[in-house]
Chain A
């Protein structure tokens, strides 16, 4: 931004704002980050749950076979 010019109108000034790129970028990152992390946790939990279920079923099959 030209420091000598005072820009009263946000619309006119916004076009040249050098901070705009990083502003948009940071907005995207900071909004998506929590969802990505929580999505990761959910994915991890679901995977662990499926594994546990498979193991349990295998166990079940074994005991059933014996009985």
Chain B
């Protein structure tokens, strides 16, 4: 374990430059791989080894499996509260009767789990950790211990959240956006212990991603393979980096707000309490100042995944690599100027609202441009409809719907009517579902052979794809229709609201709920396929999709240290497909 290529590389130049200055990150003064050197002496228990590993691939897997587990919780929560909406008062199978307090807790749990404990860890932390060192051709992150700490904090945050389901009063019931006064006072949200625990879990989770983000950015800046210039970095790596930077720059005000809200909840301060001279709308600003950049934090990595998949399966160079990159940077910059579109009717100055309308409409331009670039990439390519490719194409189609409906909401006049209806719910699910699930499925099916050295079953993959996509649309198209008819989003039992029980409205709710059940059950196909293929799937070679990026130029699965034949040297960009001078239609970045 101690004289592999990796450690040699550490011994001379590379290792020194990469690790020596990190002394303040590493109190014992030796390089980041100290933990591994210890293996020679006494083999610790494999569990300890697993949880204390600093290998980026293991940490990536830890994030992935934790995220998948949390997705089950988020999925169960949505099942229960959708059943209540479709069949009010019924005893939900596997749960029982849903009280109003339960309903609030379930909605809150669903929203916060899916965004903070599924989308973020899977898209950014899991894929970022797994892919970045492989794709830029180095052996590990530059701060491996910081990386391990990041996962451990994340795990603790997940445990705190799960623990909060079982305390007195149950899980937090103030919605994922935690608007005061509902979230600030136990008299209103009825979850005296759940509320501060929820906030604490969210704050811990942010600390974890802050550490992870710093690590990603520094690694990409300083540890790229020899010869890899700025424009040779694969788009997905760029996207994860830009997303991490956006996260770091926007999360501060929310952490400030979270501390203030926690004081309001526990000590009884009045930061957001109008009776004590506070201002509840202030929280909305602090939350969405982070919240809107956050949606791009998850969008950009998803866009990056799609770029990798569609270039590989259309055997074409990415159309306008540099435009995609500059567009992503531009989107990130603009995303700091749109947040108040969430407060259009919270009593902000309407002239302010106009300005934010304009910026909101503006930001749809770069996003649309990225979609056009991807379509141009597909144009004229030799397209192979493998499972990952289907997911990637579905991402483009479905996300488009989400983006377009965002424009309706961004027009402040229209938003007076749409705000807090199911139209908003449908809008952000047409963006978040493609991001958190469709793109993740694209990524998992695409990189599965690399991660586990085996193929997933393609037929079952396609069955899973089609049923998921159809049922997804059958959930949210009805919700668009309901929202346009004024269906308010925070109602527990519509039978008390005759205006919202007019002809056909309940039928649409039932249709959405039944489609949801189909969607959830379908995921069993994926889980079985995933875990079965991990051990029994067909063996995959090193580069099964004939792709160019560096992760495909090392064994599947990559060993500790990633590149057993020495770190690669890069000669060209990542998307040199179907080059006219070449017999093969691909040209690995490191091939001479």
Interface residue? B347 (CB, 8 A): yes
A-B contact pairs, 27 of them (CB 8 A): A10-B348, A10-B349, A10-B350, A11-B350, A14-B349, A14-B350, A14-B351, A17-B349, A20-B349, A23-B349, A23-B352, A24-B352, A27-B352, A30-B253, A30-B289, A31-B336, A31-B337, A32-B336, A34-B249, A34-B250, A34-B336, A35-B333, A35-B336, A37-B249, A38-B245, A38-B249, A45-B221
Interface residues of B in 231-258 (CB under 8 A from A): 245, 249-250, 253
Complex contacts, B221 vs chain A, CB 8 Å: 45
Q: A30 to B249: give the CA distance in the assembly, Å.
A: 10
For chain A, residues 23 to 54, give those with C-beta under 8 angstroms from any C-beta of chain B.
23-24, 27, 30-32, 34-35, 37-38, 45
Report yes or no: A10 in contact with B347, Cβ–Cβ below 8 A.
yes
Q: How far is the CA of A10 from the CA of B398 in the complex (A)?
A: 37
Total interface residues in chain B, CB < 8 Å: 16
In Å, the complex CA distance between A32 and B289 comes to 12
Distance in angstroms from A27 CB to nearest chain B CB is 8
Main secondary structure of the interface of A (DSSP, over half): helix
| New A-B pairs, 7, CB < 8 Å, besides A20-B349, A30-B253, A35-B336 | A10-B350, A14-B351, A17-B349, A23-B352, A27-B340, A31-B336, A34-B336
Q: Give the interface of A toward B (CB within 8 A).
A: 10-11, 14, 17, 20, 23-24, 27, 30-32, 34-35, 37-38, 45
CB neighbours of A32 from chain B (8 A): 336
Q: Provide the residues of chain B in CB contact with A38, threshold 8 Å.
A: 245, 249
Task: Please name all residues of chain B whose beta carbon is closer than 8 Å to the beta carbon of A35 when the two chains form the complex.
Answer: 333, 336
Interface on B for A, CB 8 Å cutoff?
A: 221, 245, 249-250, 253, 289, 333, 336-337, 340, 347-352
Distance between A1 CB and nearest chain B CB, rounded to angstroms: 12
Give the docked Cα–Cα distance between A32 and B249 (Å): 11
In the bound assembly, the distance between CA atoms of A45 and B221 in angstroms comes to 10
Distance to closest chain B CB from A29 (angstroms): 11
- Whole-angstrom CA separation of A36 from B171 in the bound complex: 40
Q: How far is the CA of A14 from the CA of B354 in the complex (A)?
A: 14
Cα–Cα, bound, A11→B350 (Å): 6
Which residue of A has the minimal Cβ distance to B345?
A: A10
Q: B residues within 8 A CB of A14?
A: 349-351
> Distance in Å from the Cβ of B342 to the closest Cβ of chain A?
14
A17–B348 Cα distance when bound, in Å, is 11
In Å, the complex CA distance between A8 and B328 comes to 41
Whole-angstrom distance between the alpha carbons of A34 and B340 in the complex? 17
Query: How far, in whole Å, are A30 and B349 apart by their CA atoms in the complex?
Result: 18
Residues of B within 8 A of A31 (CB): 336-337
Q: What residues of chain A lie closer than 8 Å to B337, measured between beta carbons?
A: 31
Question: In the assembled complex, which residues on chain B have CB atoms less than 8 Å from the CB atom of A23?
Answer: 349, 352
Roughly how many angstroms separate A20 CA and B347 CA in the complex, as a whole number?
A: 12
The 5 closest A-B pairs by CB, nearest first: A34-B249, A14-B349, A31-B336, A10-B347, A31-B337
Complex: A28 Cα to B350 Cα, angstroms: 17
Residues of the A chain whose Cβ atoms lie less than 8 Å from the Cβ of B351: 14
Most chain A CB within a 10 A radius of its CB, from B250, B253, B351: B351
* Chain A residue nearest in CB terms to B230: A49
- CA of A10 to CA of B354, assembled, Å: 14
- Taken together as a complex, chains A and B put the C-alpha atoms of A27 and B285 apart, in Å, by 9
A33–B336 CA distance with the chains assembled, in angstroms: 10
* CA A34 to CA B253, docked complex, whole Å: 11
Nearest opposing residue in chain B for A37, CB measure? B249
Once the chains are docked, how many angstroms separate the CA of A34 from the CA of B250? 8
Query: Nearest-CB distance from B290 to chain A (Å)?
Result: 11
**Complex Cα gap A45–B245 (Å):** 15
Q: How far is the CA of A51 from the CA of B340 in the complex (A)?
A: 42
Q: How far is the CA of A8 from the CA of B351 in the complex (A)?
A: 17
Report how far A24 CA is from B340 CA in the complex, Å.
12
